[in-house]
Structure 1
């Protein structure tokens, strides 16, 4: 008999008067647990703030947390369970393939889902009124990343990749954006190559940039260490579009080897006044600098609380409210629209940055490009 791990603190309360939001978060391996911890911190902080200002028309807001562990099947089961518990809406998830499973399940049963931090364009196979998303679709963010590479003079790009719908979609975006400008993208399959093999291939192909489309912490960190120590590759740029260097564990494990690795993050040049206040509270809660994922978590609850206060807790009314949302979040005013190629409601202007860690001070970030 398999057993589920106990819910996180605050995940198992049963206040009958509460308005409940179901939260899907990767909290155990093989999920990216650092991202899950930041996402949950943002969600929980926002719930606290909502309740400190009157809750949902006098009723407390409650977060019912389920750990997805980066498992789509587990996410599907959690959606069904949370729907049965009477949650008013779903929030969360970081891993794109898991969020896609959750979105499909939520659409099938008519449960509003605001995706916090997953970017795969095809979040659902069909148009749905039930699902909305805060981060930009992968096609937009990775096009910005490709433009950054072009601007930095890179034309021969290599990607060290593992099999994944998400990684494959990102590679297509990069190739389509780079090709008209004479750029090429070669793929190195990490299911058959060792980090030493990757170094040999990079030296032979004379690539100027290597992008890590790999699991974290491994094999991504092993590849970084191997490349940094190879004298043939001293001028090679290492990039991580998916954002691995954003989290403190990257800098702790890699030190200066993990610096100067450009990555995507979804932060503005300047946080809103709300964002500045939330940043202080998140740093205290996390005992480290909050990532963009923590702000995404906060903004998710801020949007849902506004909708629930304005339109009530009926699920159909919540889903119908997506196009009328106008919420001042931590990173700007959040409104939803339909974008070409997307079947879900999408924040129309999420910020996009490319940043890295400063080699002189790896705990400090440098913004290299915005889009």
Structure 2
């Protein structure tokens, strides 16, 4: 739910007033709006359940939602505004390049930020006490994906890559993992190549797999269509480690062409009782199968509610509490720790699978590899 507008600088100090959580969510283009919708659904469902259970020591929990639209400058401005409005903490964000800016701004302001979905390892340039993250670090997830590629016999990899810190980081993780194991990564610059030119590059090379390190729906959808229709590339496997095929929009856009494209899924093989119950509620709320991003949103509020009940709404005390978190989430027990090379408090053992849409039944996911 969106909080009603409040005067800038207003602080809610009354003991019966709502505890405010600022939610950063991409809800409009060029942001991945479908991912944002799922993230918000998880956040809102958990807030409703927290309030039905008595709120935060008798005070209702309330989301103040801001649409980042995948724009780092817009996100930075939203963080400043939310801090002035008196939010106890920030939650959310899907896009790594946006979350990185939001995390830096939150750290500078002393505002706790529990990042739901962004995976970029360098979410902050320096270690911070104020930022924690539920999503697995990109280096962990993409190494698992690289291990899957090798196990499936794909050592010669082409990546169709756009220019961003996120895609560059992903390509580097793949190269660093594959090269010592006899693999190779060739980058195809999507600033210079049309989808048909990508096909020509693949036909002239020796790659057995093409990975989509590009935005959705475009140019990802056009690349898949071009490769699927090129008879020279019948044996090429298409992969999408960033998870583009998980959302229903992918199946709608590509139909059968969108099946058989492995991607990373941050869910366990089987959900426990809490996860199964939340899955049912999210499915009803979204009118479709919930993505892992919806579960990340739900778990974000579960963690923040537990911290706020235990330690109050003081921002510094919230930041100090990250290493003491031990909360049962939809995908397992959530604990934060310091992971080498990661500057934020990290849930280190997020479940990770490599899955694809079953060509015989595109609405169903097949588990191909578990990390």
TM-score, with length taken from structure 2: 0.97
In the TM superposition, what is the alpha-carbon distance from 1:10 to its structure 2 partner? 2.4
Look up the match of 2:42.
42
Which secondary structure state, in structure 2, belongs to the residue aligned with residue 321 of structure 1?
Answer: helix
Look up the match of 2:304.
304
Aligned: 1:131 with 2:123 = no
Alignment of 1:125-164 (within 5 A): 125-164=125-164
Look up the match of 1:77.
77
Alignment of 1:1-371 (within 5 A): 10-12=2-4, 17-371=17-371
Structure 1 segments, 4+ long, off by >2 Å, are 9-16
In the TM superposition, what is the alpha-carbon distance from 1:117 to its structure 2 partner? 0.1
Look up the match of 1:3.
none
Which secondary structure state, in structure 2, belongs to the residue aligned with residue 282 of structure 1?
Answer: helix
Which secondary structure state, in structure 2, belongs to the residue aligned with residue 278 of structure 1?
Answer: helix
Between the aligned partners of 2:112 and 2:85, the Cα distance in structure 1 is 14
- Across the aligned residues of Structure 1 and Structure 2, the Cα RMSD in angstroms comes to 1.0
Which secondary structure state, in structure 1, belongs to the residue aligned with residue 357 of structure 2?
Answer: strand
Between the aligned partners of 1:102 and 1:217, the Cα distance in structure 2 is 25
In the TM superposition, what is the alpha-carbon distance from 1:229 to its structure 2 partner? 0.3
CA contact (8 A) 1:11 1:66 kept: no
Between the aligned partners of 1:296 and 1:12, the Cα distance in structure 2 is 25
Gap runs ≥5 in structure 2 = 7-11
Between the aligned partners of 2:328 and 2:232, the Cα distance in structure 1 is 49
Which secondary structure state, in structure 1, belongs to the residue aligned with residue 91 of structure 2?
Answer: strand
Between the aligned partners of 1:270 and 1:336, the Cα distance in structure 2 is 22
Between the aligned partners of 2:39 and 2:51, the Cα distance in structure 1 is 19
Between the aligned partners of 1:332 and 1:11, the Cα distance in structure 2 is 30
CA contact (8 A) 1:135 1:347 kept: yes
TM-score, with length taken from structure 1: 0.97
Between the aligned partners of 2:48 and 2:350, the Cα distance in structure 1 is 24
In the TM superposition, what is the alpha-carbon distance from 1:13 to its structure 2 partner? 6.2
Between the aligned partners of 2:44 and 2:243, the Cα distance in structure 1 is 22
Change (3 A) 1:28 1:11: farther
Which secondary structure state, in structure 2, belongs to the residue aligned with residue 249 of structure 1?
Answer: helix
